[in-house]
Chains A and B, each alone.
Chain A
């Protein structure tokens, strides 16, 4: 391998792992001095088409209290033995169990939305795995659990939307605890509400087609009474009682905030708006704490049973994602946020939940991840869509980062892009000799239920060499993966932001950045102009600059629901997508050459260029002023200007390819110089040229941005000053 970049890339392709440092400092003290912890991004189900599943149990270490899995790192082929350095715990495996899809549908929708939703739900029935069980709960003021019998009149059980019931009560009321009375059709009681889709598709299609709007009238100045809390509670209770520890998805479709019963987020008076960040900061959100606690309780129960909860929220106003987000965050379920069910964004994103790769469903269920480490390392924690399994053991570090205190986590729903961030602590004492064998090792054991109902285990084992930080600091520096580190630090920042004040998180992030620059920058003391960073760190300050401005850490200009939505996707995506979210990609299209990446800077906005910006959540195509004028004049329709037509088409084609496959589907913005939608581009680029410095900066090109935000140049100036200062 020529460079560390090659090494990093090959390892990622093979193992699905990216480490912050690829050469590990051999002592605990040195590790803390590196600022960025030894940590990694791990994608458990990374696509590996050349790795077919083997149809036998993994070979385990023979020591009874060890039982780690045979892997290439440990094998001595000459002596034909393998020496193990882990401990392993055996988990029982049961017979294959069916997958359950429970639809929980809000009927307080406008007719147009309800019609679109009916059609999407009907369509989804044909996309489900063939042996899946399905169920339907609808809600508005009341909650109805529909019995899906094969023939006869459709029946449903109705619950009041205000009365909280415990799981046992729910199961009793649904008749799940009594044996069937004689004379009744001999249907197992569990299957009355959850039936195989191939048996009930005709009935359920008709039932969905006949779904009516919630019949309770909504008075002027009032919101519809939506009992989301009770509906979810019944869904969780139903599955808890009938299919514990089986792969299941509760899919909640909602068109507005919960306004009644436990878990209500806002009252029914329209004149009281739903809480904003301002309200929350002023402690003026009266339902927030109680509702959040309520949904956390439901989420925890669902996660314990291996069930995931998706939230498909389509409305022009907020729907309570801030309070309900734990339902998806703890269980690995999806959150999809749209304006209406009658949009391509919702319909296509929902379709992609059931997408396939090489004929196999991408979705997987009931995952558990266990991490084993060699003696010199311990596990501090994980940040990602999971819950702790509270597994104690020798690998558990006392320092917690993210969800810590364990070496096992549950990820109830996952896809090939689900990525967890794992943080480690190095245990060796300072000045202790380098450990025998020279390499530390980590094993990731992921167990999950494939959509074919088959249970699978995937084992990934990685190792990295130890290095003495005192004598080999340059090597350690070259092994720095700035992309992975940026994402790993960002996840820590977002995790903190959930419990700490915003400004504190920014201060923490800044402090880490300054320390890193002090450690690895080349400079003369107190001389900011002499400051330089090597190539392996050159992009890192830029990432941190954009991260500070990102919607993950800046809640200004976003509603609480939007912030929750962005953060939800940020802490589960793989490295490439996460980086796009931190620092959007910007490509420039022109007559002068092939499309090229350009600085995310106002100077890249030029009259004769088309820009394509990808923020992950939005795809923006921006036409420079001259391009826009040509387009308006219709040159693309003239045969002699065929190349202009091609130029206009090129970014569209590139954008389409991204739009075709991304989950969730991004917004698509086609705009131009002076267009109101150009603000999506202008707010993301570094404002190197603003109304404040238009004539002072000396740049002659690019469009000035009207902002008081600090530019990257100013940020870098401050950073250098602080890094080189001998008094810091």
Chain B
């Protein structure tokens, strides 16, 4: 849900700035079949067709017939009793429906907000595993950035979508789905760079180093990690 959205462009800085797509939406292959906009109409003069008023029901130009446009225009045709059915070929809007109006998915979700402790516990597990074989200065750097991430979460500087997706990221890491966690980190960096840029590169490095560790190092730590995991509570805002 968090990964697929469109929000308006920055019309303050760029005139007619186009809307911004989330990483997930941009990288999605294909989608619902839409009208393929590639046809043209030949000018009647050249093809030898009858030259006359343009096709379609003739309509008086507002300027010619009315001095001012009507202030209470006749309402649009209603679905029942309209001359024709709603136009075919109009597919449903892309999922989700938040298009150009809202700045992202609504805050009130039925799921519980993710707990920081879970996330940090997993990162700590990975860090400890890495310290066995990865160079010290790299581990120190990774740890520094994880702490920064932790600090930002605790002080409420991270938005809900970021927190939620970080939780998903660590779940993927826990299940050894390294490519999936990598993809989530990439999407977060593209969609929320201003929130994550300072520490995300540490997470990236952690994923890379952890996936390259020999398996016995990871499973040895797994037991220790499960012990320290307590039941998660929603983090108070």
A residues touching B (Cβ–Cβ < 8 Å)? 112, 118-120, 122-123, 125-127, 151, 198, 201-202, 205, 209, 338-340, 342-348, 351-352, 355-356, 358, 532-533, 535, 538-539, 541-542, 576, 583, 585, 587, 589-595, 597-601, 603-604, 606-608, 612, 614, 618-619, 625-626, 629-630, 633, 635, 640-644, 646-647, 649-650, 652-654, 656-660, 665-669, 677, 698-704, 712-713, 716
Is B38 located at the chain interface by the 8 A CB criterion?
Answer: yes
18 additional A-B residue pairs with CB within 8 Å, beyond A585-B40, A603-B54: A112-B13, A202-B141, A340-B10, A344-B9, A355-B27, A592-B83, A594-B35, A601-B54, A607-B59, A618-B16, A654-B37, A656-B6, A656-B99, A657-B34, A668-B18, A701-B59, A702-B54, A712-B43
Number of A-B contacts (CB under 8 A): 245
B87 touches A650 (CB 8 A): yes
B71-79, B123-131, B151-159, B227-235 - the one binding chain A: B71-79
Residues of A within 8 A of B50 (CB): none
Does B189 sit at the interface, judged by CB under 8 A? yes
Q: Assess the A344–B18 pair: CB atoms within 8 A.
A: yes
Residue of B nearest to A590 (CB): B87
Q: What is the CA–CA distance of A700 and B56 in the complex, to the nearest angstrom?
A: 11
Residue B208 at the chain A interface, CB threshold 8 Å: yes
Give complex CA distance A351, B23 in Å: 9
| Known pairs A126-B204, A630-B73; A668 contacts B9 (CB<8 A) | yes
> When the two chains form their complex, are residues A356 and B18 in contact, meaning their CB atoms are under 8 A apart?
no
A591-B77, A594-B90 known; A599+B14 contact, CB < 8 A: no
Closest A-chain residue to B186, C-beta based? Answer: A126
Residues of B24-42 whose CB lies within 8 A of A? 25-27, 29, 31, 34-35, 37-42
- Chain B residues whose CB sits within 8 angstroms of the CB of A594 once the complex forms: 35, 87-90
**Contacts A699-B54, A716-B45 given: A122-B86 contact, CB under 8 Å?**
no
In angstroms, how far is the closest chain A Cβ from the Cβ of B138?
8
B94 in complex: contacting residue of A345, A589, A656, A712, CB < 8 Å: A656
Q: Is the CB of B76 within 8 A of A644?
A: yes
Instruction: Say yes or no: B19 contacts A630, CB within 8 Å.
Output: no
Report how far A701 CA is from B52 CA in the complex, Å.
11
Residue of B nearest to A346 (CB): B14
What count of chain B residues pass the 8 Å CB interface test? 77
Separation of A593 and B41 alpha carbons in the complex (Å)? 17
Instruction: List the B side residues contacting A644 at CB < 8 Å.
Output: 76
Q: For the complex, is B48 an interface residue (Cβ under 8 Å from A)? A: yes
Q: Does B215 contact A (CB under 8 A)?
A: no
Tell whether, in the assembled complex, residue B45 and residue A339 are in contact, meaning their CB atoms are under 8 Å apart.
Answer: no
A703–B60 CA distance with the chains assembled, in angstroms: 10
Interface residue ranges, B against A (CB under 8 Å): 6, 9-10, 13-21, 23, 25-27, 29, 31, 34-35, 37-43, 45-48, 53-54, 56, 58-62, 69-70, 73, 75-79, 82-84, 86-91, 93-94, 99-100, 137, 141, 145, 185-186, 189-190, 193-194, 197-198, 200-202, 204-205, 208
Pairwise interchain contact A700-B53, C-beta atoms closer than 8 A: yes
Q: B87 contacts A348, CB within 8 Å?
A: no
B13 contacts A122, C-beta separation under 8 Å: no
Residue pair A653, B17 in contact (C-beta under 8 Å): no
Residue among B17, B45, B201 with most chain A CB within 10 A: B17
Which residues of B are found within 8 Å of A677, using beta-carbon distances? 16
With A123-B189, A650-B90, A652-B99 known to touch, is A593 a contact of B40 (CB < 8 Å)?
Answer: no
Nearest CB on A from B24, distance (A): 11
- Compute how far the CA of A123 lies from the CA of B43 in the bound complex, rounded to whole angstroms: 48
Q: In the complex, A202→B143 CA distance in Å?
A: 12
B35 close to A669 (CB less than 8 A): no
Contact B37–A123 (Cβ < 8 Å): no
**Residues of chain A contacted by B93 (CB below 8 angstroms):** 649, 653
Q: How far is the CB of A434 from chain B (nearest CB, A)?
A: 33
Which residues of A are found within 8 Å of B53, using beta-carbon distances?
A: 698-701
> Which of A125, A347, A356, A535 is within 8 Å of B27, CB to CB?
A356
Considering the complex, give the chain A residue whose CB is closest to the CB of B29. Answer: A358
A590 to B202, CA, bound (A): 52
Complex A-B: 17 CB contacts under 8 Å: A120-B193, A126-B189, A209-B198, A576-B38, A591-B76, A594-B35, A595-B89, A595-B90, A599-B43, A599-B54, A604-B54, A629-B70, A640-B78, A641-B76, A653-B34, A659-B19, A716-B46
